[in-house]
Amino acid sequence: MATAREFRPDIQGLRAIAVLAVVLYHAGLPFLPGGYIGVDIFFVISGFLITSHLLGGLARDGRVKFASFYARRARRILPASFVVVILTVAAAVLWYPPLLMKEVWQGAIATALYVPNMLFAVNGTDYLAEATPSLFQHYWSLGVEEQFYLIWPLLLALGWRFVRSRRALFACLIALVVLSFAGGVVFTYLSQPWAFFSLPTRAWELGVGGIVAFAVLHGRRTLLGARSAATLGWIGMAGIVGSIVLFTEETPFPSYWAAIPVAATALVIFAGATPSRVGPTAVLSFSLMQFLGLISYSLYLVHWPALMIPDMALGGSPLWLSVLIAVGCVPLAWLMYRFVETPGRSMPLLSRARPARTLWLSLVSSVAIIALASGAFLYSRSVPLHAGEAAVAAVPLTVDPEGTDFVPSNLSPSLRSAADDQPVIYADGCHLSYSGVEPQDCAYGDPAGREIALFGDSHAAQWFPALENYAEAKGYRLQVYTKSACPAAGVEILRDSVPFTQCDEWRARTIEQLNIDDPELVVVSDYSSSVFDYAGASRSDAWRTGLEDTLRAIDTQTVIFADTAHTARSTGVCLSAHLTEADDCSVDINTGFDKDVRRAEADAAADAGAQIVDFNRYICGPDECPAVIGNLLVYRDEHHLTATFVDEQLSAPVAQAIDRILDSPDMSGGE
């Protein structure tokens, strides 16, 4: 009968599966869409091993030796972790887009303070769909584990002192697991980033490992025979493999879905406590699996920056290159394990000294990393983000404009301020955030004038500067009804992979208000690449139906402003890395627009008797949409126009289009 404290080759093999799943998922292999559950496997393993160690100490000594425990954890985790942080910051200074160095700085500091997961939760990071993820995003799981290591010994020690019963302590653990699991399910649908990244909503996964530790250490009489254990072990393996292969980025996670890989891992660990020649331990014990399990921690640390830095420097890595880098990380991880991780764990200077020495060195190391990251950020701020020459300002409006092939010194807005170059309705509180559902009473222009209404998501909001100019010049009142991530089109929006029900409520109330106010014209515009549910139909058909439903529900005359181009990377970030090659950051026409959705949008407008105008001819050329036109920055991120560009370049064509529509209300056709 194996015990929790003996070497477990099956657990080492599970580590190999976990790290391979994560690394190959991040490398982009299409047949492993659920590889992100490798982290959940690690959580269960960590919960099992740490709880086994703590329970053994309690049984032996009657107490937890906190200083020794924390010092051992620090020597096990921090040397490799901090070395990778240092190397990552140095590599970012050399090869990363300067505009992203603030995120690098924030991530490094959060990692040095053991709270990277909290940073990503506060920032609302979508781990499964982030376009420009942090170089330290993979450290979120270490943050969860480090926080667990801080709290869990205290809870066990308190429980042991006041309960003095293994059975009662076990019941308390089960209660904590149930509460944490329930919190993870609920918060997946309320605030997915907090559900994904926070310790309270992830602690149950480590707690499940703790439950297995209790069962193995104190419930041997109830352990199964070899044949039954082997069966349970293979069921667990099937659950792990099935999760990796069948889960996708659209799977609401963690939610209750996380219970599948967690329970499956627990089954494999529990079954492995009973020796069996036909169980999964035989496969997990293969030498390659043992080797990968041995270096799994270092491999997990090095793979993410190794994949991300070339991807950002090259503007995207092909699959073959990502896989090649992932394979190359294996020998790199072995070097990290051999020369950093192992010496850091067993160095006599620390391991034979009092725990205080390790803990003080950990504190000094954290301070040093904060200083290093801050210095790197300050250096990046001193680097000019332009090519050193000015461009012609006030370029005349033209169809099929040519782009400026460098980043001019007189760029407006500047790259550093581009992200904040938003319409004033954001600062005024007139563009609803994710949580708002009640239409705002926000009017601009002439308060006594006839009304024009703007309706849609942030891609409607981007037209505000031109519409405000029109309202002020022609004596109209511009009423704004816009909300983040909520298109006017009646489709079921998914936010963080779960239904964003606030959109439906806001949309219905806005349409009701529009029909009460009866404006002369409603301008509708949406981000047609929104993430929405189109089960049972094609994406374009679902968009057409949803948009047509909205148009028919509005009683007054409606015009659609066709959507603008989108790209997978931030234009400003790209330009900061290509100051003399701005053309590299242009948006390709073929990938920047979804032609099927554009046709569906036009068909919906025609069927509903609405008009549609397309201003992209003033933004894009025949083949691409430039990032810079004259001295104007066109896009402030991946898909929003800068307020400056709309104000200075598109006010005139917008005014002309609206004049024609209002003068000829029965006219249909495009701009």
Please check the confidence at residue 346 and state whether its pLDDT lies above 70: yes
Tokens of 263: 């329970």
Q: Among candidates 508, 517, 515, which has minimal Cα distance to 486?
A: 508
> How many of the other CB atoms lie within 10 Å of CB of 475?
11
Measured in residues, the chain has a length of: 671
CA 416 – CA 385 distance, rounded (Å): 8
pLDDT confidence of residue 436:
83
Task: Kindly report whether the peptide bond that precedes residue 153 is cis, defined as omega within 30 degrees of 0.
Answer: no
pTM: 0.90
DSSP state at residue 31: T
What are 410-420's pLDDT values in tens digits?
Answer: 999 999 999 99
Q: What percent of the chain has pLDDT over 90?
A: 79
Banded model confidence at residue 652, pLDDT cuts 50, 70, 90: very high
Say whether 98 sits in a helix, a strand or coil: helix
The mean per-residue pLDDT over the stretch 603-621 comes to 95
Q: What's the mean per-residue pLDDT of the chain?
A: 92
pLDDT confidence of residue 414:
96
Dump the DSSP string for 131-184.
SS--TTGGGHHHHHHHHHHHHHHHHHHHHHHHH--HHHHHHHHHHHHHHHHHHH
Domains of the chain: 9-380 (no CATH), 422-566+594-614+649-663 (3.40.50)
Contacts of 114 (CB under 8 A, 6+ apart): 142, 143, 146, 147
pLDDT confidence of residue 523:
98
Judge contact between 453 and 671, C-beta under 8 A. Answer: no
What are 234-285's pLDDT values in tens digits?
Answer: 999 999 999 999 999 889 999 999 999 999 999 999 999 888 889 999 999 9
Please check the confidence at residue 132 and state whether its pLDDT lies above 90: no
CA 362 – CA 631 distance, rounded (Å): 49
pLDDT confidence of residue 670:
39
CA 601 – CA 614 distance, rounded (Å): 11
Judge contact between 79 and 366, C-beta under 8 A. Answer: no
CA 542 – CA 491 distance, rounded (Å): 7
CA 615 – CA 597 distance, rounded (Å): 17
Banded model confidence at residue 128, pLDDT cuts 50, 70, 90: confident
